[in-house]
Amino acid sequence: MKRVFLILVLLLFEITTAFAQKKRPLTVDDYFALKDVSDVHISPDGKWVAYVASNSDESKDEEFSNICLVPVSGGDPLQATFSGKDEHPRWSPDNKFLAFLSDRNKKTQVYLLNRGGGEAFPFTDVAQGVDDFEWSPDGKKLLLVLIDPDPDEKDKEDGKAPPPYVITRPFFKFDEVGYIKNLYKHLYVFDVATHTLKQITFGPYDDANPTKSDSDYPSSPRWSPDGKQILFVSNRTTEPDLNTNSDLFVVSSDGGEPKQLTTNEGPDQIPDWSPDGNSIVYVTSLEPKYLWFDQLDIATIPATGGKPRILTTDVDRNTWNPRFGPNGHIYFLIEDSGTQRLVSMPANGGSITEATPEKVVYDYDIHPEGTIVYDAVRPDLPGDVFAMIDGKAKQLTRVNDEALKGIEPGTAERIRFASKDGTPVEGFITKPPGFEPGKKYPAILWIHGGPNEQETGEFYFTTQFLASRGYVIIGITYRGSTGYGSKFQKEIFGDWGNKEVEDLMTGLDYVISQGYIDADRIGVGGHSYGAILTDYLITKTDRFKAAITDAGESNYLMNYGVDQYLLDWEAEVGKPWENPQRYIELSPYFQLKNVQTPTLVVCGEEDWNVPLINSEQLYLSLLRLGVETMLLVYPEQPHTFWRPSYIKDRYQRYAAWYDHFLKGAPDKVPPSKP
């Protein structure tokens, strides 16, 4: 009897343990438990890393970002700020203060946090707010980036009717900005002791991040190591709105006439001084006629000016965000075959050395004694802070361990195949949790945007969410993407919807040939250029049983002068009144009569990147053609949504649309709230 009782106890223990260890698929609500880390900076004493931790709060329907600290030696992170509106942490050279930007009181100002204790307090009081800042090497001054004061701001604050927009420049609108006034970003020096402010650059030019694209690595101005000069990036051509040029300039920290260092017709940007102040490293585009399709290279130039030296001519990969290290090497990020790695090479050129073991790195900082801190992601890791100490990698944070505890993510696997014309193409598939070999699964071809991006297999919530619902998610790095060389990247310049479609469809056939895809239950979708390619695909084939086109465009004649891509249209297609037939030939809109796929059309009301008019016209045209369709317009949202409740609603509608048409769910819209 005792033996039977013991067996029952052991059996109950095994059942209980198995139940406790059983993991569940990801749900849309998990989105709000996940955190993102970014903007890592190591303290002057090398003991701490400051970083930004951000998250979406569903209950308050807002996004929040705070400054956190973590010891380099290891230990629990500390949250340093709590307003939810803090970013851009920068250590003072004496290690006593941590400065950061915050708009907790409407206008963004520089705040200081005393390392000895106490609350953060506003350090600047600038009427128009602060765009960017950097400490001087001696800590006695701050370099500020300020936009010109807006004369209409007072009327707006007083509740008076705003004046009309008076537009006189070609580049006059931008997503998340709106109409662009003739206001420019200039450099100022702020004296820490006296709180006095001195403007040191002038004119109708932007003297920080002047390129016409939103960059994860803005061209912030930099103090020289001796504090006597300031290095900055500006487009000071005769008509800066009509080209992508930007050059490096230096100006005395006391002011004066700036000296131009580079003369390349393309963008020269993201510069950094060498520790001795004799050289500058930066990113350059050598074939600006290709615009965003040109591959970026790392270059150096003497700080006094002279002939640039291109260091990555033989690399044939996109490279950017360079910095001088303490060992005579230059560090930079490189996109290569589904990875985004931190590497280094000698400052005078030479072979590339891997700087970290992580395959997808987003940001990094280097201490003068050699410690590297960085944030990285993995297929099972949304993002964390790491350090390389004496050649060994160490994970410093685990910001999402608790959120992911008990969740079984989908499994990412690399695929390789030859496209229709023999071009080697890669991508990643994400198999659903609990994938069973031999079983046939519905699939979704989810297409990345850009197009100058790449599939990396990293933890991407959209992919993981859809995979968690039982779909195999297929991501193809089609031609026009980065990471596979200059020819691969430029091959679709002025010829959209051709080679990419071949790559996507050949990749789809390759995955189907592996035997685990139900060829009768395949969906397609994407955001931005991914939506554009979705529009192409549904006009060329009826193989897809459901489509989601999110913030795309299909009638290109309609976009000239309406979106923010004036230079792209003219360079790749020409002016519409001179070449209307080419606009029509490239536009999937004029092939909509071929569409049979049920299509969900999505856009933000205030998307000025790919304006709402595209989605409205596509929806109405599909409706009139008898195609099953629906239009979702999210109020006040730009190209990238910021309101958590809308992000959740969109994911729920993604799932309902695909579940209805691919799995036979009764409703194609999510259940309404009680």
Domains of the chain: 408-555+588-663 (3.40.50.1820)
492-517 pLDDT per residue, tens:
999 999 999 999 999 999 999 999 99
Cβ atoms 305, 259 nearer than 8 A? yes
Q: How far apart are CA 308 and CA 330, in angstroms?
A: 15
- Asked if the model's pLDDT at residue 218 lies above 90, the reply is no
**What are the CA-CA distances from residue 145 to residues 53, 126, 130, 131, 244 (Å)?**
24, 11, 6, 5, 21
Query: Nearest-CA neighbor of 95 among 132, 46, 51?
Result: 46
Cβ atoms 65, 87 nearer than 8 A? yes
Q: Is the pTM of this model over 0.85?
A: yes
* pLDDT over 70 percentage in the chain: 95
Beta bridge partners of 99: 90, 112
Higher pLDDT, 623 or 16: 623
Q: How far apart are CA 480 and CA 491, in angstroms?
A: 6
Supply φ then ψ for residue 392, to 5 degrees. Answer: -120, 135
Name every residue whose Cβ is closer than 8 Å to that of residue 149 and which is 6 or more positions away in sequence.
127, 128, 183
- What is the average pLDDT score of the chain? 93
* Among the ranges given (158-167, 265-274, 307-316), the one the predictor scored with the smallest mean pLDDT: 158-167
Query: Nearest-CA neighbor of 552 among 599, 614, 629?
Result: 614
598, two tokens: 């049920």
- Asked if the model's pLDDT at residue 213 lies above 60, the reply is no
Beta pairing, strands 319-324 & 329-336: antiparallel
Confidence of residue 21 (pLDDT cuts 50, 70, 90): low
Cβ atoms 517, 443 nearer than 8 A? yes
Q: How far apart are CA 499 and CA 482, in angstroms?
A: 15
Q: How far apart are CA 640 and CA 216, in angstroms?
A: 14
Higher pLDDT, 217 or 175: 175
pLDDT of residue 215: 58
> Other CB atoms closer than 10 Å to residue 351's CB: what's the count?
9
- Asked if the model's pLDDT at residue 646 lies above 70, the reply is yes
pLDDT of residue 216: 63
- Asked if the model's pLDDT at residue 39 lies above 50, the reply is yes
- Asked if the model's pLDDT at residue 195 lies above 80, the reply is yes
Average pLDDT over every residue of 138-154: 92
- Edge-to-edge strand ranges of the sheet holding 472-476: 411-418, 424-431, 472-476, 441-447, 517-527, 546-550, 599-604, 629-634
DSSP H stretches of helix in 551-666:
566-572, 580-586, 612-624, 644-663
Q: How far apart are CA 254 and CA 587, in angstroms?
A: 53
Q: How far apart are CA 308 and CA 298, in angstroms?
A: 10
546, two tokens: 């459901």
- Asked if the model's pLDDT at residue 18 lies above 80, the reply is no
434-481 pLDDT per residue, tens:
999 999 999 999 999 999 999 999 999 999 999 999 999 999 999 999
Q: What is the 3-state secondary structure (H, E, C) of 40-81?
A: EEECCCCCEEEEEEEEEECCCCEEEEEEEEEECCCCCCEECC
353-392 pLDDT per residue, tens:
999 999 999 999 999 999 999 999 999 899 999 999 999 9
345, two tokens: 């090479």
pLDDT of residue 365: 98
Beta pairing, strands 441-447 & 517-527: parallel
* Among the ranges given (153-167, 184-198, 438-452, 465-479), the one the predictor scored with the smallest mean pLDDT: 153-167
- Asked if the model's pLDDT at residue 430 lies above 80, the reply is yes
